[in-house]
A and B are shown apart, each in its own frame.
Chain A
Amino acid sequence: MAALATHLSIKEIWSWLEDVPDPEIPVISVVELGIVRDVSLDGAAIVVTVTPTYSGCPATAVIAMDIEQAIRKHGIDEVRIETQLSPAWTTDWITESAREKLNAYGIAPPEKGAACAGALRTRTRIKCPLCGSANTECISQFGSTPCKAHYRCKDCLEPFDYFKSF
């Protein structure tokens, strides 16, 4: 079975990973999230290089397990997950398709190039994913998961999550 890997194309493995959902936000895949940095072959083994979103994110271990399982499901025995810290993950790597899916799911997608630089204390206007209004306010930069901030729409009055720029 292990020999199978050598006949595979890297492209095919990437397509398998596109079916692996983010465990916290299942509407987008780990590939769309931008955390799969590389797929390569090392002899008969498939090596997937993953970068963590936040250093303490509890989903990291689950993601590694899900990726391994997704590859094993195709009959590959040798899978190795490697962690790469640099360059550090940024929400700018989240694909366009994923941004649309996030919005439809009720999570405002991250603004590009707006990562917090420390002590800015300025808030970008984030569009409400429910009614589309830009008349919103930040309640807290920290939300239900490390990657989300907590916002409120001042027009439709609904609270919502913002996938914060990072």
Chain B
Amino acid sequence: MADNPTVEFALRMGDNCLVLGQNVSAWCGHAPVLEEDIALANVALDLIGQTRMWLGLAGELEGKGRSADDLAFLRDVREFRNCLLVEQPNSDFGQTLMRQFLFDAWHHPMLKMLSGAADARVAEIAEKSVKEAAYHLDRSTDLIIRLGDGSDESHHRMQGALDRLWRYSGELMAADAIDEAVVGPGLGDIEAQYKDYTSKVFGEATLTIPEAAFMQKGGKVGLHTEALGHMLADMQFLQRSYPGAQW
């Protein structure tokens, strides 16, 4: 697979969307208020739509005849290329929201940059997705500030979520040769934008970024936390037990 960096890169982008989309969709019918239930379902739907484009591209370029569905339902945990952040469990609404914000604050500038990628097929998927990601970032920013700078309880929960999840944010920006081959120079700009944006928002939300946190990584090369296997067991059950089942 390493022969073509675009295949691996499309898997990373697609798996991020797939794993986050699947996790977020589990909130459908369980969110604290109706408007959030609808918003979570909509965000999940956008992410699954983006998954189809990225994994469709990965499957096509790979040339082994695997469809987006094959890649989603028939790969095992070590073959997934998503970052560790998106596979962290939903836990409470605060953790779900913090995970979303830490992702959106990277996803939006990344897609913006990819809209000008040298590979036209990467660029057109990014051009389509960036418009959706803008709305995701708009919502998660708004809620982080409202809940961070909210009641004692909501502040406490948001700070707890940030303390727990911040250590997974570094992997988003930790670029390797594959990222560099597809994105080109400019990856450093995304890191600068991310730091600038998140510290501005957390400041407004009266939340404190943990100092000297060790950044966890491994997801991009297939080394995942325990949570991903559990999620895949649930998501892939039908295709594993009834191969090729359709409706």
Contacts and interface: CB of A to CB of B under 8 A. Distances in A.
Contacts of B134: 115-119
A58 B125 CA distance: 18
Contact of B49 (A56, A90, A140): A56
A56 B45 contact: yes
Contacts of A157: none
B124 interface: yes
Residues of B in contact with A, size category:
20 to 34
A50 B46 CA distance: 18
A141 B45 contact: no
Interface stretch (B138-146, B175-183, B207-215): B138-146
Nearest to B120: A86
A8 interface: no
B83 interface: no
Interface stretch (B35-43, B73-81, B153-161, B230-238): B35-43
A55 B47 CA distance: 8
B22 interface: no
A74 B46 CA distance: 35
Interface in A22-58: 52, 54-58
Interface string B61-101: 00000000000000000000000000000000000000000
Interface in A118-163: 118-121, 139-144, 146, 150
A20 B201 CA distance: 45
Given A115-B134, A118-B137, A119-B138, A56 B48 contact: yes
Interface string B14-44: 0000000000000000000001101100110
Given A54-B132, A55-B50, A117-B134, A141 B127 contact: no
B127 A56 contact: no
Contact of B39 (A119, A121, A142, A166): A142
Contacts of A90: 131
B52 A55 contact: yes
Interface residues of A, number: 28
Given A55-B50, A56-B48, A139-B35, A88 B131 contact: yes
Contacts of A113: none
Nearest to A87: B127
Interface of B: 35-36, 38-39, 42-43, 45-50, 52-53, 108, 120, 123-125, 127-129, 131-135, 137-139, 141-142, 197, 201
Interface of A: 52, 54-58, 85-88, 90, 115-121, 139-144, 146, 150, 164, 166
Given A55-B53, A86-B124, 13 more contacts: A54-B45, A56-B45, A56-B50, A85-B128, A118-B134, A118-B138, A119-B138, A119-B197, A140-B36, A142-B35, A143-B42, A146-B42, A150-B38
